[in-house]
Structure 1
Amino acid sequence: MTTTATPLSSLSADELAARLTTVRAAYDELKARDLKLDLTRGKPGSDQLDLSNALLDLPSTYRDRSGTDVRNYGGLDGLPELREIFADLLGVDAADVVAGGSSSLTMMHQVLTSLLLKGGPDSPRPWSQEPVVKFICAVPGYDRHFMMLAELGIEMVTVPMNADGPDVAAVRALVDDPSVKGMWLVPTYANPTGSVVSPEVAAELMAMPTAAPDFRILWDNAYGVHHLTDEETKSADALGLAAASGHPNRPIVFASTSKITFAGAGVAALAASPENRAWYLQRLGFAAIGPDKVNHLRHVEFFGDADGVRAHMRKHRELIAPKFAAVDEALTSRLAGLGIAEWTVPTGGYFVNLDVVDGTASRVVQLAKEAGIVLTPAGSAFPHGKDPRDRNIRLAPTFPSLAEVQTAMAGVAVCVELAALEKLTA
């Protein structure tokens, strides 16, 4: 069913009732198909994972370029060759990089728990000794960031996420409070909006005065090389901007290959100022003697260098860009002009951000589930899963096949319109 360009809000009561009857019939047909489709998580598809199967036959040796046996203990900061690859991708010095295990989320958790237990190098006291600890969260944002803060007892305050990054004026107003100790930020192709933090916004965030002397920006560059077009946007230079503004310890940068090679067996990295890096390694030294350098060497052999990573990601783009195009095509063909939905057309990352009529996102998700299409719960992109407007839905098109994405999104569009009509005719 292709929509007209007439906004639903301009239809008469009789016209709305007639349209509701038509859309309900379309929804009943959708339910009768007994679909079983899942768009809940931003996971790589099997065909994407297949691109890295050569890793299973690597490494071809057990010595790095210096002759060190990678099977043994040591090298807490990771294999130098891998640190150089991450440094090139992140636009930092290799000396600032720590290459770790398979999960950057684990490294983020280590940083936060260390700040709580011990404080940072510029902390007056451990964060756990503060009466209250708060974090700024740009919304819509990454649910796992919010879940981690909630689990650690850190309060969350929100600011809007704009196309060029978080609302700087809103951030400035919050950092006057000394209990506000930090903020999360996905700088490039943010989850779920696809926003890219501009160099200007990044510079303001790094330079702004904060009441907390140990204010941290956890700069999660999870999608920095996950381009969907020929225009490969570079992330702002967080470490360089912070150092130039006199706040070198403010950002801690994270990245991983979780959506580049194998999601459960990749490699992660952290980049930070010399003082932050020494602080992190000191804390880490009580928990580990060294990372999995065999896996480090495996990835170094597989990629060769940072250009090898970039070439590999172009293969990913060939597989997933059509799925993102299918999301836009389905929503445009069925919802454009109705005035009931807005969605992003990202140039990178793993998600499409869908905003529907206020108060209907939960209903859309329910309708979709009853029709066999499982979506991420409404509000998941907000702290504690509570979207005050109940309008936001995160779409994750990478894992299903292209045909499944096309089928699922056609169904989602029906659910969006049905929920809107139900509200307009209530």
Structure 2
Amino acid sequence: MTTTATPLSALSADDLAARLTTVRAAYDELKSRGLTLDLTRGKPSADQLDLANELLDLPSSYRDRSGADVRNYGGLDGLPEMREIFADLLGVDASAVVAGGNSSLTMMHQVLTSLLLKGGPDSPRPWIEEPVVKFVCAVPGYDRHFTMLAELGIEMVTVPMNADGPDVAAVRALVADDPAVKGMWIVPTYSNPTGAVCSPEVAAELMAMPTAAPDFRILWDNAYAVHHLTEEETKSADALGLASASGHPNRPIVFASTSKMSYAGAGVSALAASPENRAWYLQRLGFAAIGPDKVNHLRHVEFFKDADGVRAHMRKHRALLAPKFAAVEEALSTRLSGLGIAEWTVPTGGYFVNLDVVDGTAARVVQLAKDAGIVLTPAGSAFPHGNDPYDRNIRLAPSFPVLDEVRGAMAGVALCVELAALEKLSA
């Protein structure tokens, strides 16, 4: 069904009623198909995971380049060769990097819990001894960041996520006078879910701005640093360098992983930080671990060889992912452009498309899609506590289904968006 360019709000009552009847009939036909499609999470597809199957036959030895036996204890900061790969990808010195287990989310949780229980190198006291701890959260944002804060009892205050990163003026106003505001999250490159890229100018302001808390932290989750969808491979801002130059070297802690490069459940995570923060993290980690899985580190080093090997591998991912994102854009443009009921992003990297629908209808769209066999991320999930105050935001994740399923799912989603809008306009 192809839309006209006439906004739905401009239709007469009779035309609106006729269109509602037509769209409801199309929706009933959609439900009759018995679809079972899932666009809920940004998981790699089986085809993407297959790209790394050589890992299953690696490593070919059990010694790193120094001759050390990687099967044994030790090396708390990870295999040097693995740290060098991350350093190149993140644009930092290898001495700043710690290579860990399979999950950067675990590293983030370790950092937050350590700050709560012990405080950071420049903390007056452990955060848990503060009357209240708050974090700035740019929205829409990454739901797992928000649920982690909620689980730890950290309050969340929101600012808008703009095309060039968090709204700096809003952030500055929150952090300037309130010492309870201890940190903020940011996905700087191809953010989840909008695909926004934090510009060097915005990053510089975030690193230099005055904060009432002397131990203010920016958790810089560079999860999608090399996950490009076009030939233009955007480079992430240099958080550590900018912070050091502004006199706040301990402010950012950078996170990354190979989770969507190699195997999502068996990759390698990394943290990069100032010398003081790095030493602090390793001291805390030393009470909980003797060393990471260096066999897995060596496996990844042999597979990727170096950072250029990672980049070449990610171009193979792009070849699989880009057509799915193009299918999302085609379905939304074909069916919704000109109707005045939806806006969406056309990301150049990452794993998501951000869809904003008519205020007050996002939850209805998600329910309509579910009833038709198309499962979407719950409405509001990109906001703290799942509370989108306008009930307009939906995150689309087209990576996991095969291309034909993405096409079918998105045609159905677009139909549900229009149906929900027509229902509201007709009420």
TM-score between both structures, scaled by the size of structure 2: 1.00
2:163 pairs with 1:163: yes
Take 1:52 and 1:290, find their aligned partners in 2: how far apart are those partners?
24
Note the 1:255-294 alignment, pairs <5 A: 255-294=256-295
Map Cα deviations across residues 337-387 of structure 1 (whole Å, 9 max, x no partner). 000000000000000000000000000000000000000000000000010
Map Cα deviations across residues 229-265 of structure 1 (whole Å, 9 max, x no partner). 0000000000000000000000000000010100000
Take 2:153 and 2:356, find their aligned partners in 1: how far apart are those partners?
29
Q: For structure 2, which runs of at least 5 residues remain unmatched after alignment?
A: none
State the shift of 1:228 in Å.
0.1
State the shift of 1:302 in Å.
0.2
Q: Secondary structure at the match of 2:61?
A: coil
Note the 1:358-397 alignment, pairs <5 A: 358-397=359-398
The one-letter code matched in structure 2 to 1:255 is A
Indicate the residue corresponding to 1:109 in structure 2. 109
Indicate the residue corresponding to 1:83 in structure 2. 83
Take 2:414 and 2:80, find their aligned partners in 1: how far apart are those partners?
49
Indicate the residue corresponding to 2:131 in structure 1. 131
Indicate the residue corresponding to 1:225 in structure 2. 226
Map Cα deviations across residues 298-344 of structure 1 (whole Å, 9 max, x no partner). 00000000000000000000001000000000000000000000000
Q: For structure 1, which runs of at least 5 residues remain unmatched after alignment?
A: none
The one-letter code matched in structure 1 to 2:282 is L
Take 1:172 and 1:208, find their aligned partners in 2: how far apart are those partners?
7
Q: Secondary structure at the match of 1:44?
A: coil
Take 1:34 and 1:66, find their aligned partners in 2: how far apart are those partners?
58
Indicate the residue corresponding to 1:336 in structure 2. 337
Indicate the residue corresponding to 1:244 in structure 2. 245
Take 1:134 and 1:279, find their aligned partners in 2: how far apart are those partners?
22
Indicate the residue corresponding to 1:215 in structure 2. 216
Take 1:99 and 1:373, find their aligned partners in 2: how far apart are those partners?
38
State the shift of 1:32 in Å.
0.6
The one-letter code matched in structure 1 to 2:380 is G
Note the 1:49-60 alignment, pairs <5 A: 49-60=49-60
The one-letter code matched in structure 2 to 1:32 is S
The one-letter code matched in structure 2 to 1:322 is P
List structure 1 segments (4+ residues) > 6 angstroms apart after TM superposition: none
The one-letter code matched in structure 2 to 1:284 is L
Take 1:333 and 1:102, find their aligned partners in 2: how far apart are those partners?
40
The one-letter code matched in structure 2 to 1:319 is L
How many residue pairs match? The answer is 426
Take 2:86 and 2:261, find their aligned partners in 1: how far apart are those partners?
13
Q: Secondary structure at the match of 2:219?
A: strand
Note the 1:27-42 alignment, pairs <5 A: 27-42=27-42
TM-score between both structures, scaled by the size of structure 1: 1.00
The one-letter code matched in structure 2 to 1:408 is A
Q: Secondary structure at the match of 2:108?
A: helix
2:336 pairs with 1:324: no
Indicate the residue corresponding to 1:143 in structure 2. 143
Q: Secondary structure at the match of 1:200?
A: helix
Note the 1:12-27 alignment, pairs <5 A: 12-27=12-27
Aligned-pair identity in percent equals 88
Take 1:114 and 1:32, find their aligned partners in 2: how far apart are those partners?
52
